[in-house]
Chain A
């Protein structure tokens, strides 16, 4: 339909008098506002309203709160919430716990994102092949993703506590202090856990992308004498680049939102804040301690940080798309 419509639109302006009317008599300005298919506006409107209500308004309000001496109060309560300038940001940036949490999440992302990309692509590639029990394996990888965090954390604790399965296998090579109470290992352990838990979702993204890689390319590569590994590197990897961009961005955003895992696995960011995440600190300061202004400042910094990181990632990972 779109192609047909385009073909009927004349390229030259048929109304030299300045009345920009289409053959059907419509105004160009109106077209620009509502598009060629006005019904699209009606279809998109509910989601726009939804976005405005749960995204734009809260975000704007969060920014407002972060610049005020703000706390939650009962309706009707007379309280003062004076403008505080950058005081909340200064408080946040001078708080060692917050700085450490941002550092922790960087460690997390450095481990989690590459691991996610590599493992999910390799596993998706394997699961895309004609292997026996393919559906079983696909479901197996997906189950942790859809299972409640509280339930799967129990499995991980069983594996990684000091007398857990992993340490039993390692014997004298087991770390002391153990994984989740070791300052150096707590965050990497959380990063590996999250990678494992979310792998199924990213495998699905890659599986979908792999369906779009033309079999002709593999045949051509085979004709040129490329083996499996070379085909993977020269056909599969470039072929799924859009999916890789998506996986990197989604993994980064998900990782920056880290909360449940350190809370459940390491008892609230232990040891000594070594696994605390910005969202965990935001929750403590904003909700538990009744300082939403501080919590919002952390949130705004997190959003800005993630945006910058996403831009950098897109510049590197998605450059060929551009």
Chain B
């Protein structure tokens, strides 16, 4: 019996911890300075960048030392951060904050609005330009600094396509994409044409439906002005496209353990530039923008940003130092080092021209720099995660498993999401 109740108590254990946490952060102001802690992501490239950034800061600020560590291991960084907020032991800055979780963290009282710093708003908007607007919260404030994006595109395996008799694939329209997929599978160049994760986690739609929806609509978010936007002609076209892929077994509804693209199980993948380092020496790849029904030109294609941002957490006492470190870490110089170390795109205006030398030396990243100027973020609305889970359930039921008409499923999900978006 104890095990059952323990399971039932999973949900409340964090709250129990909260009762033991330090109380009240109201004493902190935006000018307080002193040592701070930060967390960064745990992939090798970002760790290397983080270490040099912290070393560079600490060398110049003996009285405001930064202690850095990788984000603690958990099922997802969002859950770890949520737990840290509740426990009152979140660090000052986390360089791995998912935009989808910001509304939830904000509701928890876990975030510091950057607008509270005299140059907060101007710094965010000057650095990122128009893109910054997507990261503004419902109250008009910035609770996150847009940091980096990984605009997702279609990677294809040149050898698999060559085996199917396709030398320079044109994948701009749904028809072309389907035709190429059928050829690849028929030629047994790969078991599946593409293998987006078919599992039911709320975020999986960011790598199948959402990029194509962004492209098809010219950059529309899933929810706009408090209303779901996907139960539209464009949304139905995208859903029907993927339904065809699954129905014709060009994509698989089964969970895959591993990287299907690297393993050669799939001839294509929907991924961002972070994957380039992963694919090095393992696959001879090319990259194209995601398709649209009518075949928009590449220069007009929008896609999902797959961004991770930096947020300041309310447990932070020395917020003045935290703000200075945030600006230092996202300066032109540090952004350049970040780009060189990871291949991920800093969310700055004109990345391609700012770091022209880098892209001249690394032309494979140039396409992503261009794409980075046309990215769509997850909507910054209340109940964001629930909204995405609601969408994923409907998509999974209709598109992946074919148990409902995709159009009807999108309509039903849109009604629920309209309600969710209107709730606090």
Of A58, A75, A254, most buried by chain B (CB within 10 Å of CB) is: A75
Give residues 2-28 of B contacting A (CB, 8 Å): 2-16, 18, 21-26
**A299 pairs with B8, CB closer than 8 A:** yes
Produce 1/0 per residue, B372-396, CB < 8 A to A.
Answer: 0000000000010110010001001
**Distance in Å from the Cβ of B45 to the closest Cβ of chain A?**
25
In the complex, whether A295 has a CB less than 8 A from a CB of chain B is yes
**B254 pairs with A162, CB closer than 8 A:** yes
Question: B residues within 8 Å of A by Cβ?
Answer: 1-16, 18, 21-26, 78-79, 82, 85-88, 90, 104, 107-110, 191, 197-202, 252-255, 257, 314-315, 383, 385-386, 389, 393, 396-397, 400-401, 403
Give residues 275-322 of A contacting B (CB, 8 Å): 279, 282-284, 286-292, 295-296, 299-300, 302-303, 306-307, 310
Complex-state Cα separation, A259 to B201, whole angstroms? 14
Q: In the assembled complex, which residues on chain B have CB atoms less than 8 Å from the CB atom of A74? A: 25, 85-86, 88, 90, 108-110, 314-315
**B11 pairs with A282, CB closer than 8 A:** yes
**Distance in Å from the Cβ of A74 to the closest Cβ of chain B?**
4
In the complex, whether A125 has a CB less than 8 A from a CB of chain B is no
Residue of chain B at shortest CB distance from A257: B7
Stretch at the interface among A132-140, A230-238, A261-269: A261-269
**B198 pairs with A253, CB closer than 8 A:** no
**B14 pairs with A270, CB closer than 8 A:** no
**Distance in Å from the Cβ of A62 to the closest Cβ of chain B?**
5
Stretch at the interface among A32-40, A178-186, A191-199: A178-186
**Distance in Å from the Cβ of A261 to the closest Cβ of chain B?**
12
In the complex, whether A175 has a CB less than 8 A from a CB of chain B is no
6 nearest A-B pairs in the assembled complex, by CB-CB distance:
A77-B109, A267-B199, A299-B8, A58-B9, A286-B11, A268-B200
Checking B8, B252, B254 against A62 with a beta-carbon cut-off of 8 angstroms, the contacting residue is B8
Of B3, B4, B104, most buried by chain A (CB within 10 Å of CB) is: B4
Residue of chain A at shortest CB distance from B197: A267
In the complex, whether A14 has a CB less than 8 A from a CB of chain B is no
Complex-state Cα separation, A58 to B109, whole angstroms? 23
Q: In the assembled complex, which residues on chain B have CB atoms less than 8 Å from the CB atom of A267? A: 197-201, 255
Checking B3, B6, B202, B403 against A272 with a beta-carbon cut-off of 8 angstroms, the contacting residue is B403
Please report whether the interface of chain A is mostly helix, strand, loop or mixed according to DSSP.
Answer: helix
With A72-B108, A267-B255, A287-B11 already in contact, 4 other A-B pairs whose C-beta atoms are closer than 8 Å: A73-B18, A268-B200, A288-B202, A303-B4
Checking B2, B16, B88, B386 against A76 with a beta-carbon cut-off of 8 angstroms, the contacting residue is B88
**A271 pairs with B396, CB closer than 8 A:** yes
Q: List 26 A-B contacts (CB under 8 A).
A: A51-B2, A55-B5, A57-B16, A59-B5, A62-B11, A65-B15, A70-B15, A72-B14, A73-B110, A74-B108, A76-B22, A76-B109, A77-B314, A161-B254, A162-B254, A259-B7, A267-B201, A268-B200, A270-B198, A270-B401, A272-B396, A287-B10, A288-B389, A292-B12, A299-B7, A310-B1
**B197 pairs with A55, CB closer than 8 A:** no
Residue of chain B at shortest CB distance from A177: B253
Checking A72, A154, A271 against B253 with a beta-carbon cut-off of 8 angstroms, the contacting residue is A271
Q: In the assembled complex, which residues on chain A have CB atoms less than 8 Å from the CB atom of B14? A: 72, 292
**A73 pairs with B108, CB closer than 8 A:** yes
**B104 pairs with A290, CB closer than 8 A:** yes
**B393 pairs with A288, CB closer than 8 A:** no
Complex-state Cα separation, A181 to B252, whole angstroms? 10
In the complex, whether A83 has a CB less than 8 A from a CB of chain B is no
**Distance in Å from the Cβ of A42 to the closest Cβ of chain B?**
22
Complex-state Cα separation, A288 to B101, whole angstroms? 9
Checking A71, A180, A259 against B107 with a beta-carbon cut-off of 8 angstroms, the contacting residue is A71
**B401 pairs with A183, CB closer than 8 A:** yes
In the complex, whether A188 has a CB less than 8 A from a CB of chain B is no
Complex-state Cα separation, A295 to B104, whole angstroms? 16
**Distance in Å from the Cβ of B118 to the closest Cβ of chain A?**
24
